[in-house]
Amino acid sequence: MTTDSKPKLKLALFGVGRLGSIRARILVHFSPRIELVAVCDPKPGSDQWVAQNLPAHIRFFSDPEECLLHSGAEAVLISTATATHAPLVLRALELGYHIMVEKPIAVDVETTRQVVQAAKEKPHLKFLVPFCRRFDDSYRRVKKLVDEGSLGEVHAVESNCLDQQDPTGFFVTFSAQSGGIFVDMGVHDIDIARYYLNVTKGLTNPKKQVNKVFALGQTAVYTDLQKTLDADNGWALVEFANGKILTFHLGRTLTNGFESCTRVYGTKGSAVVNGNSTIDRVEVRDEHGVRTDTTPDAFVLYEKSFVQDLGEFATCVLDDKPLSLTPEDAFEAAKIAAALQYSFRNGVPVFFDEEGDPIMA
Give pairs for 165-168: CB < 8 Å, separation 24+.
165/221, 165/252, 165/253, 165/254, 165/255, 166/252
Buried b vs exposed e over 334-359: b needs ≥16 C-beta within 10 Å? bbbbbbbbbbbbeeeebebeeebbbe
Shortest reach from residue 325's CB to ligand NAD, in Å:
13
Q: For residue 104, is the peptide bond before it cis, meaning its omega torsion is within 30 degrees of 0?
A: yes
Per-residue contact string for residues 36-65; x = within reach of ligand NAD by CB under 6 A: ----xxxx--------------------x-
Identify which of 203, 235, 237 has the alpha carbon closest to the alpha carbon of residue 356: 203
Residue 80 in contact with ligand NAD, rule: CB under 6 A: yes
Shortest reach from residue 16's CB to ligand NAD, in Å:
6
Binding-site member from 17, 169, 349, 356 for ligand NAD (CB under 6 A): 17
Coil vs helix vs strand at 213: strand
Shortest reach from residue 103's CB to ligand NAD, in Å:
5
Chain residue at closest Cβ approach to ligand NAD: 17
Q: Which is nearer to ligand NAD, 108 or 357 (by Cβ)? A: 108
Residue 19 in contact with ligand NAD, rule: CB under 6 A: yes
Q: Which is nearer to ligand NAD, 64 or 234 (by Cβ)? A: 64
The DSSP secondary-structure symbol of 113 reads H
Binding-site member from 20, 180, 217, 257 for ligand NAD (CB under 6 A): 20
Q: Which is nearer to ligand NAD, 81 or 95 (by Cβ)? A: 81
CB 81 within 8 A of CB 40: no
Rg over alpha carbons for the chain, rounded to the nearest Å, is 21
User: For residue 153, how far is the Cα from the chain centroid?
Assistant: 26
Identify which of 111, 84, 114, 306 has the alpha carbon closest to the alpha carbon of residue 178: 84
Shortest reach from residue 240's CB to ligand NAD, in Å:
23
Shortest reach from residue 271's CB to ligand NAD, in Å:
21
Binding-site member from 9, 11, 12, 15 for ligand NAD (CB under 6 A): 15
Q: Is 17 left (phi over 0), alpha (psi -120 to 50) or beta?
A: beta
Q: Which is nearer to ligand NAD, 170 or 284 (by Cβ)? A: 170
Per-residue contact string for residues 160-199; x = within reach of ligand NAD by CB under 6 A: ------------------------x---------------
Q: What residues between 281 and 340 interact with ligand NAD by CB under 6 A?
A: 298, 302
Counting residues that bind ligand NAD (by CB under 6 A) gives 24
Which residues contact residue 22 at a Cβ distance below 8 angstroms, ignoring those fewer than 6 apart?
Answer: 299, 303, 306
User: For residue 93, how far is the Cα from the chain centroid?
Assistant: 20
Shortest reach from residue 95's CB to ligand NAD, in Å:
14
Which residues contact residue 2 at a Cβ distance below 8 angstroms, ignoring those fewer than 6 apart?
Answer: none
Binding-site member from 14, 195, 240, 331 for ligand NAD (CB under 6 A): 14
Element (H, E) at 22: helix 18-29
Q: What residues between 231 and 260 interact with ligand NAD by CB under 6 A?
A: none
Shortest reach from residue 24's CB to ligand NAD, in Å:
11
Residue type, 46: S
Binding-site member from 132, 154, 246, 339 for ligand NAD (CB under 6 A): 132
Binding site for ligand NAD (CB under 6 A): 14-20, 40-43, 64, 79-82, 84, 88, 102-103, 132, 184, 298, 302
